Amino acid sequence: MIMKLQQLYSYTRRAIDDYGLIEDGDKIAVGISGGKDSLTLLYALCGLRRFYPKKFELMAVTVNLGYPDFDPAPLQELCRQLDVPYLVVDTEISKIVFDKNPDQNPCSLCAKLRKGALNDAIKKAGFNKVAYAHHKDDVIETMLLSLIFEGRFHSFSPKTYLERVDLTVIRPLIYVSEAEVIGFKNKMDLPIVKNPCPVDGYTKRQYAKDLLRQLNLNHPGVKERMFTAITNANLADWPPRKPSGNSGS
Domain containing residue 222: CATH number? 3.40.50.620
Rg, C-alpha atoms of the chain: 18
18 alpha-carbon distance from chain centroid = 17
- For the chain, what percent of residues have pLDDT higher than 90? 74
What is the pTM assigned to this prediction?
0.91
Let me know if residue 144 belongs to a domain: yes
239 is a domain residue = no
* pLDDT beyond 50 at 245: no
| Number of domains present in the structure of the chain | 1
Residue 242 lies in a domain: no
Specify which of 58-67, 100-109, 167-176, 234-243 reaches the highest per-range mean pLDDT: 167-176
Helical segments of the chain, H only: 5-19, 36-51, 73-82, 93-95, 106-124, 136-150, 178-188, 204-218, 222-231
pLDDT band at 244 (very low <50, low <70, confident <90, very high): low
Residue 232 has pLDDT above 60, yes or no: yes
Is 32 exposed, middle or buried (CB count within 10 Å of its CB: 0-12, 13-18, 19+)? buried
Phi and psi (nearest 5°) for 5? Answer: -60, -40
Structural domain including 61 reads 5-231
Residues of the chain with pLDDT > 70, as a percent, come to 92
Residue 139 has pLDDT above 70, yes or no: yes
Residue 88 lies in a domain: yes
The average pLDDT across 15-33 equals 96
Supply the mean pLDDT for the chain: 90
Q: For residue 26, what are the β-bridge partners?
A: 56
Q: Is it the case that residue 220 has pLDDT exceeding 50?
A: yes
- Are residues 90 and 112 in contact, defined by beta-carbon separation less than 8 angstroms? no
Please tell me the distance from the alpha carbon of residue 88 to that of residue 60, in angstroms, as a whole number.
Answer: 9
Higher-confidence position of 150 and 203: 150
Mean pLDDT (whole number) for 229-243: 91
Q: What is the structure's pLDDT at 104?
A: 64
**Confidence class for position 17, pLDDT limits 50, 70, 90:** very high
Q: Which pLDDT band holds residue 125 (cuts at 50, 70, 90)? A: very high
pLDDT above 80 for 228: yes
Residue 137 lies in a domain: yes
Q: Are 220 and 98 in contact (CB under 8 A)?
A: no
In a domain, 244, yes or no: no
Structure confidence at residue 54 (pLDDT):
96
pLDDT digits (tens, 9 = 90+) for 192-215: 988 777 766 557 888 999 999 999
> Looking at the domain assignment, is residue 54 inside a domain?
yes
Q: Which long-range contacts (CB under 8 A, 24 or more apart) does 147-155 make?
A: 148/208, 149/204, 153/233, 153/235, 154/235, 155/230, 155/235
pLDDT for 123 equals 95
Q: Which long-range contacts (CB under 8 A, 24 or more apart) does 196-200 make?
A: 196/65, 196/67, 196/69, 196/70, 197/65, 197/67, 197/94, 197/110, 198/98, 199/106, 199/107
> In this predicted model, what pLDDT tens digit does every residue of 62-75 receive, in sequence order?
999 888 888 899 99
- The verdict on residue 168 lying in a domain is yes
